[in-house]
Amino acid sequence: MIYLMGLGLRGVDSVTLLEDRIISSCHRIYFEIYTSISPEKTIHQLEERYGKEVIPTSRDDLENSSAILEQARSLDVCLLVTGDPLYATTHNQIRLDAARSGIRIETIENSSAISVIPGRVGLFPYRMGPPVSLPFISEKFRPRSVLEKIGRNLANELHTLLLFDLAPGRTMYPWEAASILLDLEKHHGTGIIGINSEVIVAANVSQQGETLLVGKLGDISQWKKELSPSSMIITAQLSHKEKEFVEEFCRRLP
């Protein structure tokens, strides 16, 4: 049996009663470390709490999951994922592989940045368009598709949640993201965003040091705070109530 379980946004503090019972009874505990960033020391805290080894699991381990699935034929195995377990394609692939191999798999849901951040900052969740992944760029890699996806959302009066790329041990910082967006716009000249585009930064959501900030993209690019994990929302025109909520719940960058 394999259990695919979300740890939410608070690490050990987000473990549900059901998850607690399952982790306590499992023979192997794996912790996926590449699709998101958990609070510091989460693995250590899990090991202390359950008295078992928690095995960090990389992208290669999951994309070549035959060893984990083989263990699940005779043992109860759990794979812990930061946030909700089914937002990443890789995790649904494990479900598919298990089903095709005749291995029982159960999924235990939890909160994620995608489900929590919009409401946390005061936006209406039904006004969120498809999220957009923002990668680190290089001289040879400046994807126009990032701007085009944001543009489609804005054309439909929808906000865009940007999911930041990962560097070792952290997400992209907000100022890096803002600088990358402005670089992409300068390179491609789409007119979709600019220094005066209003954005919301959400960092350490549901964790100690939570930061919710609203400001202009150009100002964020100069705001050199190294916050992780972080996300950003490119806002469409706010409704009257959204504007009221955002001004109350988010600090405005001067």
Tokens of 40: 């510091």
Tokens of 159: 């906000």
Q: Indicate whether 151 and 241 sit together in one domain.
A: yes
Q: Indicate whether 145 and 70 sit together in one domain.
A: no
Q: Indicate whether 83 and 138 sit together in one domain.
A: no
CATH number of the domain bearing residue 6: 3.40.1010.10
Strands 166-167 and 170-171, bridge-based pairing: antiparallel
Q: Indicate whether 87 and 135 sit together in one domain.
A: no
Please tell me the predicted confidence (pLDDT) of residue 154.
98
Among 65-74, 139-148, 208-217, the range scoring the smallest mean pLDDT is 65-74
Q: Indicate whether 87 and 122 sit together in one domain.
A: no
Q: Indicate whether 56 and 99 sit together in one domain.
A: yes
pLDDT tens-digit readout, 195-249: 999 999 999 999 989 999 999 999 999 999 999 999 999 999 999 999 999 999 9
Mean pLDDT over the full length of the chain: 95
Q: Indicate whether 167 and 207 sit together in one domain.
A: yes
**Domain count for the chain:** 2
CATH number of the domain bearing residue 162: 3.30.950.10
**Strand ranges in the chain using DSSP code E only, listed in sequence order:** 2-6, 28-32, 54-57, 77-81, 105-108, 132-134, 160-164, 166-167, 170-171, 198-203, 211-216, 230-234, 251-252
% of the chain at pLDDT higher than 70: 100
Q: Which of 54, 80, 108 is the last residue of a domain?
A: 108
Task: Kindly state the average pLDDT of the residues 75-94.
Answer: 91
Q: Indicate whether 125 and 245 sit together in one domain.
A: yes
Q: Which of 55, 87, 108 is the last residue of a domain?
A: 108
Q: Which of 108, 123, 148 is the last residue of a domain?
A: 108
Q: Say whether pLDDT at 34 is over 90.
A: no
Q: What is the reported pTM?
A: 0.92
Q: Indicate whether 147 and 101 sit together in one domain.
A: no
**Strand ranges in 174-229 using DSSP code E only, listed in sequence order:** 198-203, 211-216
Q: Indicate whether 65 and 147 sit together in one domain.
A: no
- The answer to whether 15 and 23 are in contact (CB under 8 A) is yes
Q: Say whether pLDDT at 193 is over 90.
A: yes
Please tell me the predicted confidence (pLDDT) of residue 58.
86
Q: How far is CA 231 from the centre of its chain?
A: 8
Range(s) of the domain holding residue 195: 113-252
Q: Indicate whether 159 and 212 sit together in one domain.
A: yes
ω before 229 within 30° of 0 (cis)? yes
Q: Indicate whether 80 and 181 sit together in one domain.
A: no
